[in-house]
Amino acid sequence: MNTMMKQSAFALVLSLGLVAGCSTTGDEPMTDEEMSAVDQDGGASVYGGDGDGGISSDELRDEQRRDQAEQGASGDDAAMRRITTFYFDFDTAQIKAESRDVLAAHARYLANNPDVDVRLEGHTDERGTKEYNLALGERRANAVQRFLVVNGADRGQIETVSYGEEKPAAMGSNESAWAQNRRVELIFR
């Protein structure tokens, strides 16, 4: 009997601790610290998404924005903006390192031209189910959208669409064709 009372008391203490630990209502706005903890899938951290090597939007806005403005003034942005297709590794929506500077140039262009809109078309290779590939194409387009927004573009300028495997850039069932089909295309309007 004594053991049963101890177990009940212990359960009561654990319950009270749980209630005290979860006392926030969720109605309060997130702090800056909480906002910067959101990973790539949530929207505030880019490049890594898992916290290792990721860059928060605060860092981009403060430190790199000045560097990007200087690069934009040099005229390199126009040349970089001619690249409108960005490729992805197999089964991932992580933006490749070599795409970042070009995407940053597109973001600066969108930020400086609020009347310009862009459609981000996500594509995959033929492997996987149609449903999975549509979702993967959407994740890829959304990753590019988050990158552009973090770098200064307005979310209202950007539309995302996924075609999955339906519009291949290259026909074939080999690595060369698959690599060309894993992409996001920027279509300016």
Q: What single DSSP character describes residue 60?
A: I
Token duo for residue 53: 């090597």
Q: Please state, in angstroms and rounded to a whole number, the distance separating the CA atoms of residues 118 and 185.
A: 10
| pLDDT score for 77 | 85
Q: What is the pTM of this model?
A: 0.62
Per-residue pLDDT tens listing for the chain (189 residues): 566 656 665 555 555 554 444 444 444 444 443 333 333 333 333 333 344 444 444 444 445 445 555 554 445 888 899 999 999 999 999 999 999 999 999 999 999 999 999 999 999 999 999 999 999 999 999 999 999 999 999 999 999 999 999 999 999 999 999 999 999 999 999
| pLDDT score for 11 | 58
The C-alpha torsion from 171 through 173 and 176 to 180, rounded to 10°, is 50
| pLDDT score for 66 | 52
| pLDDT score for 73 | 47
Would you list the domain boundaries of the chain?
76-189
Instruction: Give the CATH fold of the 76-189 domain.
Output: 60s Ribosomal Protein L30; Chain: A; (3.30.1330)
Work out the number of other CB atoms within 10 angstroms of the CB of residue 80: 17
Q: Please state, in angstroms and rounded to a whole number, the distance separating the CA atoms of residues 131 and 140.
A: 14
Dmax of the chain from CA atoms?
82
